[in-house]
Amino acid sequence: MEETRLIKPLLDKEYPMISHGDGIYLYDTDGKKYIDGSSGAITASIGHGVKEIIDEMEKQANKISFVYRSQFTSEPAEKLATKLSELAKGADGGYWSFFVNSGSEATETAMKIAIQYWQEKGVKGKNKILSRWMSYHGITIGALSMSGHTVRRARFVSLLEDYPTISPPYCFRCPYDTTYPSCNYLCAYELEKAINRIGAEHIAAFIAEPIIGAAGGAIVPPDGYYQVIKKICEKHNILFIADEVMTGIARTGKMFALEHWETNADIITLGKGMSAGYTPIAATLVSEKIMEPIKKGSRLIMSGHTYSANPQSASVALAVLKYIESNNLVEAAEKNGRYMFSKLLELQKKYPIIGDIRGKGMLCGIEFVSDMITKFPFKKEIDLTTMIVKQAQLNGLLLYPAAAGIEGIGGDAILIAPPLTITCDQIDEIIILLSQTLSDVEKELR
């Protein structure tokens, strides 16, 4: 292997060198073509090389790329905040935007604003953020503290707050061994038990991904789940933070995934698809209710980053939103997502290792099992997820590895989340390559 100074995710793995992208396809410098079946990390949601975005980048770069937020505001940042407030219907009075650069920064900012909100209201001691096991809210210490992702926590446990508290709404492996609807949302009511145990006077907020992504492989809660969660939060004076970093901005067939359950959040985090990967930007959306005591109080949100609200990234995010609206990509994600889901269900009949297909819109997950009846996962040593993702890449299909399975034992899942611009014919291409991959892997497993 050639000497390299770039720290890549796995130091002993060879990564192909990217050459360029076009729509849902990527090409490496050896001329190999890949279908971007996961939009990278569920990010490139309008595909690669979109002229409208590149033109906007050039136009803005010719005006100004960077100003420091403590010295200037800019038209793109102002317009983006207004646009996001219009899109995030639900909360009375709309939302204010705090721009950052990554999903981790967005959730960490959400955590800080939730704590600040109670301080500004004169309520002392509400500092804890409850969350779910099987969740991922980011890699920085605060965001990781809120994440129920055992593998990513492991090395830093002694530095982390002990936050994740309740079971996920994981119907495929129900934590209570029951089924919906007779379960009566036991996993949601776990939140109330936790609040009673810990004491609402210590808790600032509860954070959840509307659909669990990297930590669960597109786990969709049963209908009514979020209404129960919201009711419990309101009853106990606890804020509800929706982490829409992966699910937001049209990915699931709604602009915000929480719309599927007609619920709104006090604080929403966005990232990934917000700029569709063209430039880094993420956001913490803060409802008027949360802003009110801050506006009457210190009038300063105690957070911020050098690149926050830079006009270059804001102009890209605005252009992406315009592109999504003018190409009806929310509707496309819903309609073509249903097509993709039906094709995956057909594949399940062919491959007994497919235990579960789940998701919404253009965010689909597959969980693999070694036995259809017992749902027992493959042995950890096999590392089936890596096998599948690696084989798919060899076959020219990019997939996203996710965690799932049984606590302490593990399991295997992938996310399939191509750009929202994908056509049904291109979905068929994914299905052919995925089928080929599963057949190759099954042979290897024999």
Q: Closer to ligand PLP at the Cβ: 275 or 426?
A: 275
The stretch among 25-33, 86-94, 131-139, 373-381 that binds ligand PLP (CB under 6 A) is 131-139
Q: Helix, strand or coil for residue 210?
A: coil
DSSP 60-73: HHHH-S---TTT--
CB of 231 to ligand PLP, least distance (A): 23
Q: Which CB, 246 or 438, lies closer to ligand PLP? A: 246
To which residue do tokens 């056509």 refer? 423
Report, in Å, the least distance between residue 106 CB and ligand PLP: 7
Binding characters for ligand PLP, 216-245, by CB under 6 A (x = yes): ---------------------------x-x
In single-letter form, the type of residue at position 34 comes to Y
The two structure tokens encoding residue 72: 């200037």
Contact 283, 309 (CB under 8 A): no
Cα(102)–Cα(108) distance, rounded to whole angstroms?
Answer: 10
431: number of Cβ within 10 Å: 17
CB of 401 to ligand PLP, least distance (A): 12
137 binds ligand PLP (CB under 6 A): yes
Cβ-contact 116, 294 below 8 angstroms:
yes
133 binding ligand PLP? (CB under 6 A): no
**3-state DSSP assignment of residue 97:** strand
Q: For ligand PLP, which residue of 38, 85, 102, 109 counts as binding (CB under 6 A)?
A: 102
What would the x/- binding string for ligand PLP be over residues 259 to 278, using CB under 6 A? Answer: ------------x-------
One-letter identity of residue 386: T
x/- map, 344-383, ligand PLP, by CB under 6 A: ----------------------------------------
Alpha helices in 9-50, H assignment, sequence order: 39-42
Instruction: Please report the DSSP string for 224-273 in residue order.
Output: THHHHHHHHHHHTT-EEEEE-TTTTTTTTSSSSGGGGGT---SEEEE-GG
The region of 134-142, 167-175, 195-203, 359-367 touching ligand PLP under the rule CB under 6 A is 134-142
| 422 in Cβ contact with 37 (< 8 Å) | no
One character per residue 199-218, x = contact with ligand PLP (rule: CB under 6 A): ----------x---xx----
422 binds ligand PLP (CB under 6 A): no
- Kindly tell me which residue out of 45, 104, 312, 426 binds ligand PLP, with binding defined by CB under 6 A: 104
The least CB distance from residue 308 to ligand PLP, in Å, is: 14
In eight-state DSSP terms, residue 23 is B
Q: Decide: 188 and 222 in contact? Cβ < 8 Å.
A: no
Provide the binding-site residues for ligand PLP, judged by CB under 6 A.
41, 102-104, 107, 136-139, 209, 213-214, 243, 245-246, 271
